[in-house]
Amino acid sequence: MPSGRVSLFVTCIVDQVFPSVGIAMADVLERLGYQIDFPEAQTCCGQPAFNSGYREDARKVARHFLKVFRDCEYIVVPSGSCTAMISHHYEDIFQDDAAMLRTSHEMAPRVYEFSRFLLEVAKVDDVGARYDATATYHDSCHALRELHIKDGPRRLLANVRGLTLREMDAAQECCGFGGTFSVKFPEISGAMARTKIDSILRTQADTVVSIDSSCLMQLEGAIRRAGLPIRTVHLAEVLASR
Amino acid sequence: MNTAPIKIKQTIADTDLQKAIYTATGRLMAHRATSTDHLPEYQELRTAAHELKRHTIDNLDYYIEQFEQNVSAHGGKVVFCNDAAEVADFVLGLAKERQAHLIVKSKSMTTEEIDLNERLEHHELESVETDLGEYILQLAHQRPYHIVAPALHMTRYEVADLFTEKLGVENEVVIEKQTKIARGVLREKFLAADIGITGANFLIADSGAVVVVENEGNARLTTSAPKIHIAIAGIEKLIPRATDLVVFLKLLGRSATGQALTVYTSFLSGPRRGEEVDGPDEFYIVLLDGGRTKLLVDAEKRESLFCIRCGACLNHCPVYRKIGGHNYPWIYSGPIGKIITPQFHGVMEDPWLPFASSLCGACAEVCPVKIDIPKQLLQLRAEVSEGKKSGGTGSSERRGFHLYAWLMRHPGLFRLFGRLGAKMAPRPDGGGWIHRLPGFMNVGPLRSWMQERDLPPPAPKSFHDLWKERRK
């Protein structure tokens, strides 16, 4: 039985819009025997500003993040995108700040996307979950291409009782969210979502699972707009279900 | 162009065009995947190609000099041009001296880049494209839609109508027969041409040779039938040694079309010598700067010059696959166009361009020379935000991000704002999502979101609140 203390960074979008994802993540980790720490001063990783070209603003938010999480042993995040921001892009924004660069380098190996933490630190691929669904897994781009997370979530899903996993033909194609891209270029973003949804429909799955709530917000927003009978769910919620 | 072209919406709404783009790029993607899967050393080759390009670009002055010496030793001549006008002047001057009237061209993005055909036409020099796709586009007065598949967007029916209109032939919808029609016209042009112009895929420094890859054989005719051959290429096309081609040729065809090698790979090193039967009497290589040296200054931007123009990033780009090739401001479309256009022309020319990406990274994943395109896009976005600051535009967005950054450093206030937002938000019955926003809220980014998607209301209680309750 693994044990120890993990600190949750729930991300701003989970905190404000999808808190049940954070709760589910905490449930799974607690059941595995971890003691949960939730640093109350946490807010955001700074990615929205970084991706929009406002690096000074991104640095300010990143400094706050580093301060809040500096002493945490493990930081677990229910998002590939926010994890990649911390572990890969803090380096980009702190090129001219040696102290912050060092802090972010020290932190990078301690920041884990949720599914990776389960597989690589807790070393479990079956958390005893039950979730009745025919599901398909959507690879979020930053998890897939920056963190190289691909098989892990599928392995975890394959061990969920009641869940049939179906691979879609465009699993690795972007959902079209892209942060501010989704509102700067709504037509392109919306069209990308619909292409993705077509691929989901071809699997005849009733559920789309991902490890990033922002992708799911994009997909479910477009699914609801089209009036389709598909639900979206974060991996943490599937794994917390019994 | 300050804002993205309106035509984007038309392209997305055109179902036939969408299908054409999807089918063509999808096929290229599938072919690439199959061919690289069968190449065990594929990833090592990518790394090697990246390192070779980096080494060459870092030492470009050395390799250009070596190249020039070797070309001269074979009886050819290297011509240095700073910009489009200088290239046109050179070609026009040479044509005048040799009393040339007809030029045949094989496909070259570099000559597209400098509008060579238009510049020559102004001086009553006929310049005919001989690649089938390029020939079709020249008849239609259009720009290439794609780096390697220039007429990717056109159906055979459109081509049939075009041939009937421009060539006076009967309407022919069978592609093989269309090719025959074009071939009939072009054969006469090859035989009558005074000058052949090509681009170059690689320029080999240690042997002074130009390498041209193609599938139709038209580049072979272009470089051998006319008495004069001019190859026009950007300075970044240099590679150090002929042996380095082993790396690049294995990657180029596979990344572009899934071919292990293109049908023809021509090595051209100088004019016809002594007793040789084939080849031109005169051989020129125009080395174009055209803004490239500006990129050399910046160690990170240099990476854009590694590009070997395979087009793989276009095929794999979900944005290119929606908006096609004609909504980009320059002839270079797709992810590579999104980084080199601002780098060549200045970021503030088309400030929207680096933002028209979801940063999905599919481009970098397939780039045979491992250009980190998303990283460059992010850098360009930062430059645009800086540029807007000095240009005094985009101030509401900038204020928005300043406010965001301030709020995110004040957790208590952030939570207070969150609670206010949660109170104000419309809350559809049964925990549903927002399908329509009240008018006063339906503005700015929210309006853009609502245009395409439903919106989840903020949760009644944030994770912070729920966690506090749980810990009680």
How many angstroms separate the CA of residue A50 from the nearest CA in chain B? 8
Q: How far is B43 from chain A (nearest CA, A)?
A: 15
Residue ranges, comma separated, of all CATH 3.40.50.10420 domains in chain B are: 7-293
Asked if A49's CB is within 8 angstroms of B404's CB, the reply is yes
Tell me if A53 and B459 make a contact (CB, 8 A cut-off): no
| Mean pLDDT, rounded, for A142-153 | 98
CB atoms within 10 A of CB B390: 8
Please answer yes or no on whether A186 and B378 come within 8 Å at the CB atom: no
pLDDT single digits (tens) B284-342: 999 999 999 999 988 889 999 999 999 999 999 999 999 999 999 999 999 999 999 99
- Give pTM, 2 decimals: 0.96
* Model-level ipTM above the cut of 0.90: yes
Across A108-120, average pLDDT? 98
Q: Which residues of B touch A40 (CB under 8 A)?
A: 411, 464
CB contact (8 A) between residue B359 and residue A49? no
Rounded-to-integer distance, Cα B23 and Cα A201, Å: 19
- B204: tokens are 């080999």
Q: Which residues of A touch B452 (CB under 8 A)?
A: 186-187, 189-190, 193, 221-222, 225
| B453/A225 Cβ within 8 A | yes
Q: Which residue of B has its CA nearest to A60?
A: B405
Question: Which residues of chain A have a CB within 8 Å of the CB of B455?
Answer: 221
pLDDT band at B164 (very low <50, low <70, confident <90, very high): very high
Which of A177-191, A227-241, B163-177, B379-393 shows the lowest mean pLDDT across its residues?
Answer: B379-393
Question: Averaged over A210-225, what is the pLDDT?
Answer: 98
Report in angstroms the alpha-carbon separations of A210 from A23, A152, B64, B210.
16, 12, 50, 49
Greatest C-alpha distance within chain A: 51
**How far from A193 is each of A42, A154, B57, B76, B121, CA to CA, in Å?**
31, 22, 39, 54, 45
Give all domains of chain A, ordered by start, each with its CATH number.
Answer: 4-120 (3.40.50), 126-240 (3.40.50.11810)
Q: What architecture is the B7-293 domain classified under in CATH?
A: 3-Layer(aba) Sandwich (3.40)
Partners of residue B254 on adjacent β-strands: none
